[in-house]
Amino acid sequence: MATIVKTSSGTWKALIRKTGWPATAKTFRTKRDAEDWARRTEDEMVRGVYIQRAPAERMTVEAALTRYLKEVTPAKRASTQAGEHKKAQVIIRHLGKYSLAALNAEIVAQFRDMRLAGDPDKNGKLRPRSNNTVRLELALLGHLFTVAIKEWGIGLPFNPVSNIRRPAPGSGRNRRLTPEEQTRLLQAVDQHSNPMFGWIVRIAVQTGMRLSEIATLRIRQVDIERRVVRLEHTKNSSPRTVPLTAEATRVFTEALANPLRPAETELVFFGEPGRDGIRRPYLFDKAWTDAKRAAGLEDFRFHDLRHEAVSRFVEAGLSDQEVSAISGHKSMQMLKRYTHLRAEDLLLLHTAIKIVAISSLALTLAACGSAKDANKSNFSKAIQAYLDTQKGLCAAIPAKGLPFTLANQDMLGGQSKKRADALVDAGLLTKRDTEVKAMFGNKMEPATEYQITDTGKKFLVANGANTMAGQDAFCTGKYTVVEVSNFTEPSDMMRVKLSQVNYRYKVEGADDWAKSESMRANYKNFAEQTQGDIQGKAAVILTNDGWMHERLFKRG
């Protein structure tokens, strides 16, 4: 039976003592609230479903993550530890003040959508995060709740992260390295004073090994005679043996014969001694950034070398099983991003047969026409055909559906409200003051309701933001090619002729609202695309009908 007593401060305290359960107490403003809580709690105890919520109500997400990083993270690999510390800082910045009990699925879903749509970086610029980045952040948050419930005894009825949709796995970057780009890159890395830098880059593109696998190699793992490298510690914890090409064997032979190698280190690629006197793997972050800039490849990442190597394995005709054995992809599902190469091989072979089969008259007409000439005019038409399929300059509506309501105080940084207010300033939405139920307790807090205007209806495009959440957007104008700046000499690749084209384009016909300061301040794409020409780069492919943008070609 519960005991209800009035405290000296005028509040009411309910105390429950029941056999088989720890003593439980809670303080309320009114006697009725105390009696209601005691009755519900005793009923839960009788039914065996009672959960002590006090620890979950006291512990914040920040405190829980701090404990997680001290107790759980140290048992993981060093690279994983570093990644979890970075993800934890993001979660703490946006959700750290919530208690574990207060963090529900709706708040987690808002966090997910905000990160996908565009989260301000340290310089205040909006930077949408990739699906995979957000998936990893949610995975950390979800595991935090799992550990808290199962191991820390935190009384929660469920894990809020398990009740939301996760972003679809990203298809992965598909940045390829052209022969001309590879030449420029290798020339740039060879300018560095330390030859180890150039050796590492060449090994990456020849073998497909990850940077962490190359950097931590020991001499005993490299077998020049058998032309293999035996990897012991890999990302997926599965040892594997990597065969070496003739070029990779030559590079490793030079690296192992390095006359500057200290006798005390087993590392193939070694750095300077630390304060403890121990040599660790060679680091070259700044050198890599400088080399990319010198080669004109600032969008290129070191991990793209692995993608390039695996793509070349597939193009060389290796089976999925053989590629997996070399690259370390643990399942065939992980290799699916490369299967388009095989499909393209079949498509291009089929296309080639059709071309051979066409009549000699058609061949003569095609030869006389100019649509297949490699020139700026034809390339400009190909790129414009692709740009015509785009929706123009679009501003995502910062909520699902219309009308919508946003709390004036938003612990996720207030970016959604800033964007909504910018749309109001642009004349696309109207707003009025209202109230919503506060996140904590039963109080009401100030909020703003937004509705679309007649002007807004003219520019509304369903799913115009192209986000996982299916956000609608206001879109205006169209993209128009200004000039093809330069292009590479068309070359044959995978039985297709293509050219890499650099061009400039701009937004034409955009309504005045798109150029307002509030839109430019709150939508990164508006700030970048309304101030002048935009730089673009694409591959164009020669078809029977002339040149075609790579993305339209893949759709065909």
* 208 or 416, higher pLDDT: 208
Alpha carbon distance 225, 554 (integer Å): 43
Among 18, 31, 173, 235, the active-site one is 235
Q: Are 136 and 87 in contact (CB under 8 A)?
A: yes
* 142 or 466, higher pLDDT: 142
CATH code of 179-338, in short, is 1.10.443.10
Q: What is the dihedral of CA 519, 524, 527, 532, to 10 degrees?
A: -140
Sequence letter at residue 284: F
Alpha carbon distance 536, 2 (integer Å): 71
Q: Is the pLDDT of residue 388 over 70?
A: yes
Q: Is the pLDDT of residue 412 over 60?
A: no
* 210 or 349, higher pLDDT: 210
Active site residue 306: yes
Q: Could you give the C-alpha distances from 30 to 26, 332, 428, in angstroms and in order?
A: 12, 62, 47
Q: Is the pLDDT of residue 377 over 70?
A: yes
| Mean of pLDDT over the chain | 82
Alpha carbon distance 310, 323 (integer Å): 7
Alpha carbon distance 14, 394 (integer Å): 56
Q: pLDDT (tens digit, 9 = 90+) per residue, 280-305?
A: 899 899 999 999 999 999 889 999 99
Tell me how crowded residue 317 is: count the other CB atoms within 10 A of its CB.
9
DSSP string, 327-370: H---SGGGGGGGHHHHHHHHHHHHHHHHHHHS-HHHHHHHHHSS
Mean predicted confidence (pLDDT) in 229-237: 79
Q: Token pair 């609230």 is at which residue?
A: 33
Active site residue 329: yes
Among 53, 112, 202, 329, the active-site one is 329
Q: Is the pLDDT of residue 218 over 90?
A: yes
Sequence letter at residue 551: R
Active site residue 86: no
Q: Are 475 and 465 in contact (CB under 8 A)?
A: no
Ramachandran angles phi, psi of 127, nearest 5°: -140, 100
Active site residue 303: yes
Mean predicted confidence (pLDDT) in 414-433: 89
Q: What pLDDT, on the 0 to 100 scale, is given for residue 270?
A: 92
* 467 or 100, higher pLDDT: 100
Q: Are 384 and 508 in contact (CB under 8 A)?
A: no
Helix axes 303-315, 320-327, angle to 10 degrees: 150
Q: Which CATH number fits domain 58-163: 3.40.50.410, 1.10.3720.10, 1.10.150.130, 2.60.120.10?
A: 1.10.150.130
Active site residue 417: no
Q: Is the pLDDT of residue 477 over 50?
A: yes
Among 112, 115, 202, 210, the active-site one is 210
Please give the helix or strand (H or E) that residue 150 lies within, else none. helix 131-150
pLDDT class for 350, splitting at 50, 70, 90?
very low
* 118 or 509, higher pLDDT: 509
Percent of the chain with pLDDT over 90: 30
Among 303, 312, 340, 376, the active-site one is 303
pLDDT class for 170, splitting at 50, 70, 90?
low
Q: What pLDDT, on the 0 to 100 scale, is given for residue 146?
A: 93
The verdict on whether omega for the bond into residue 179 sits within 30 degrees of 0, i.e. cis, is no
Active site residue 67: no
DSSP string, 34-59: HHHHHHHHHHHHHHT-----HHHHH-
Alpha carbon distance 222, 518 (integer Å): 58
Question: Which of 49-63, 145-159, 439-453 shows the lowest mean pLDDT across its residues?
Answer: 49-63
Q: Are 212 and 261 in contact (CB under 8 A)?
A: no
Q: Is the pLDDT of residue 48 over 80?
A: no
Mean predicted confidence (pLDDT) in 377-400: 89
Q: Could you give the C-alpha distances from 514 to 6, 328, 401, 451, 458, in angstroms and in order?
A: 61, 48, 21, 19, 14
- pTM for the structure as a whole: 0.48
Among 98, 282, 338, 386, the active-site one is 338
**Which of 17-26, 147-156, 449-458, 507-516 is most confident?**
449-458
Q: Smallest Cα–Cα separation from 53: which of 219, 314, 62, 44?
A: 44
Dihedral sign of CA atoms 513, 514, 518, 519 in order: positive
Q: What pLDDT, on the 0 to 100 scale, is given for residue 345?
A: 53
Q: What pLDDT, on the 0 to 100 scale, is given for residue 15?
A: 82
pLDDT class for 358, splitting at 50, 70, 90?
very low
Q: What pLDDT, on the 0 to 100 scale, is given for residue 357?
A: 40
- SS3 category, 215: helix
* 324 or 496, higher pLDDT: 324
Mean predicted confidence (pLDDT) in 36-53: 72
Angular region, 192: left φ>0, alpha ψ -120 to 50, beta rest = beta
pLDDT class for 316, splitting at 50, 70, 90?
confident
Among 306, 419, 506, 520, the active-site one is 306
